[in-house]
Amino acid sequence: QVQLVESGGGLVQAGDSLRLSCVFSGASLSDYDMAWFRQAPGKERVFLGGFYRIIGATLYADFVKARFTISRDNERNIIFLQMNNLNADDTAVYYCAVSRFGRAGSDPEEYESWGQGTQVTVSS
């Protein structure tokens, strides 16, 4: 079974930037599609963006595309989420997820493997 471990979260101030990492193990990341989600207290898990092998491109939710950038290092099996100009609404637990079936998109149920999450807190 594959494993994902997020890191890089913490307490930042509005306007700051933050880079999250997700270390993937148990298989080759190049054989998986990957995505980032976040979940604020009392709210549902929300899709942020993902990289998909079949199109060789990253797709983003409209509300984050201008500020968030997803990348991957297949040699080191690491997934990144670069977040710029953070605001208080970005406060949430951030998760990385992967799928090997080539059909995943924005629905969390389409991803079979998840990390434990990393907390991002943005003060105003």
pLDDT of 65:
72
> Cα–Cα–Cα angle for 84, 90, 95, nearest 5°?
95
pLDDT of 66:
85
pLDDT digits (tens, 9 = 90+) for 79-95: 999 999 999 999 999 99
Q: pLDDT class for 1, splitting at 50, 70, 90? A: confident
What string of DSSP letters covers 19-38? EEEEEEESS-GGGSEEEEEE
